[in-house]
Homo-oligomer: A and B are copies of this chain.
Amino acid sequence: MKRAEQATAEGILYTDEYQLTMAQLYYRMGLHEKKAQFEYFFRSYPDYGSHRAGYCINAGLEWLLDWMQEARFRDEDIDYLRSQTGRTGKPLFDDDFLDWLRRYGTFEGITMRAIPEGRVVHPNVPLVVIQGPLAMAQILETPLLNHLNYPILVATKAARIRESGRGRLLLEFGLRRAQERAALAGARAALIGGADFTSNVGISHVLGYPPKGTHAHSMVQVFMALGGGELEAFRAYAEVYPDDCLLLVDTVNTLESGLPNAIKVFEELRRKGHEPVGIRLDSGDLAHLSIQAAKMLDEAGFPNTVIVLSNQLDELVIWEIITQIEKEAPRYGVDPDRLINRLVYGVGTRLITSQGASALDGVYKLVAVQDGGQWTPAIKVSETPEKTINPGYKHVWRLYDRRGKATADLLSLEDEDPRTMETVLLHHPIEHTTYRILRRDEIAEIEPLLVDVLEEGRLVYDLPSIEEMRRVREVDLERLDPGVRRLINPHVYHVSLTERLWDLKQDLIRSLKQRGRR
């Protein structure tokens, strides 16, 4: 795509056609500037097939805001819409609507509350609440979903991979296998969720992180094709990068060629006064090879070199590697804990595409419409009860127990504040007879989760740095119950409704079913 085309494709027309046909309908009916309230939430944790997440990490907000700030209907966008025709060849969009779009079709009327990036989040909790004129809030649906669904998915996967790697250094390597431009939002989300660095140069520059990387098999191949060998290639690398020498040892044969050659070069380096960084293993049995590599490096006097592992890693593969090292390393006289602590993980495909769960099921649902100055709650029922939305203007609270662990997220009506309640009733969102009652003294803290982000288009929120988001993520993970953090079969975290919200939901379902019969 050419740059000029990209500006068109990624501008205000980065939405679905039906958002525009609906906007015109609202305009025609005089509803386009009626205040509406939409909520963004996801319905279920990513399910990777053999395992599923017990929490998500929120991400994507800042880039959504960047998009909203720049998106507007340019003359050429309006001209394009004017050229669209319906089945009979008549224009699909009328001039008066297009004039309105040209003049007022921005997000300057949008008020937004949101949960900050980096926070632990759960299904059915509004992560973003939009208030604004119906037509523009409707057009926002698709780009908002597009900007949030994917980053949450990747931040979540990164957090899981970091957990399985016991917090050891995690490098994001996914640009080549990413779903094209998703590589950029993906690298950013990976950093928020748990990666320490990325190999992606451009996004590192933009985000202010140093990019990481060493060399590929092709470098060794070049030397071999020209009549040299792996040793010459390693020597060349050590010569150019004497203080940053990390060698990929599996181009020919890891144990017979790569490691002996690397050690030879490391010894030469040391004689010249430089300390090598380490090696990378990119194929074969990574657990077995890392034990052998550790043994050889230790015996050669390089116990402080790192061992970078890559090749189709994800949280389960890393977990298995560590488990195998714990079992097998002692047999070879290698201390498993020392070895695990010198490992670094380079994770590509399975992180950047969230393999196994390639999409988050985030949705953007109308929850209220302003009518005569009052917010009228809106609902959509579904034959699947889980898909019936929680209606109305709401607040979101996180309750911590006396251990300091988060025990539930609570959705309340606009005028409710559980901090002032003596006892808090937490109603199951679907099951009629399931609820918990907590006394105030059983609750250590009640924290509101939504912060004000936009007030009628104006940014009223201090955007945190990626480093701040990473700290928020660490704190939130520490405050999760270990059962919820579990990689496989995690404990289900409670997302509950206050009694009044529960009652409102039931009332609306009943009245809708009666109306449906009319």
Using a CB–CB cutoff of 8 Å, the interface residues on chain A facing chain B are 1-3, 5, 8-11, 13-22, 24-26, 28-29, 31, 36, 38, 49, 63, 66, 70, 80, 84-88, 90, 92, 134, 138, 141-142, 145-147, 149-151, 153, 173, 175-186, 199-206, 210-219, 221-222, 224-227, 229-230, 236-237, 239-241, 243-244, 251-253, 256-257, 277, 283-284, 349, 353-356, 358-362, 365-366, 368-369, 371, 376-384, 387, 512, 515-518
Contact = CB atoms under 8 A, between A and B. Distances in A.
Contact of A216 (B18, B243, B369): B18
16 contacts: A1-B66, A15-B201, A15-B202, A16-B211, A25-B237, A25-B241, A31-B226, A92-B244, A138-B218, A179-B186, A181-B181, A222-B378, A224-B512, A252-B515, A256-B517, A356-B358
A433 B85 CA distance: 62
Copies in the complex: 2
Contact of A365 (B182, B202, B218, B284): B218
Nearest to A145: B176
Contact of A9 (B13, B36, B203): B203
A466 to B, nearest CB: 13
B201 A17 contact: yes
Contacts of A177: 145-146, 149, 359-362
Contact of A22 (B185, B218, B362, B515): B218
Contacts of A199: 16-18
A512 B252 contact: yes
Contacts of A226: 31, 369, 371, 376
A92 B212 CA distance: 11
Contact of A229 (B88, B90, B518): B518
A213 B16 contact: yes
A213 B138 CA distance: 14
Most buried by B among A24, A49, A181, A518: A181
A8 B359 contact: no
A146 B183 contact: yes
B253 A206 contact: no
B25 A215 contact: yes
Given A217-B380, A222-B36, A355-B359, A210 B84 contact: yes
Contacts of A10: 181, 184, 202
Given A16-B213, A70-B3, A244-B92, A8 B229 contact: no
A84 B229 CA distance: 30
B24 A240 contact: yes
Contact of A211 (B17, B244, B378): B17
Given A16-B201, A151-B180, A243-B90, A214 B21 contact: yes
A178 B175 contact: no
A391 to B, nearest CB: 9
A204 B354 CA distance: 27
A9 B215 contact: no
A206 B25 contact: no
Nearest to A384: B283
Nearest to A251: B380
Given A218-B365, A225-B368, A512-B224, A86 B179 contact: no
A516 B253 contact: yes
B369 A243 contact: no
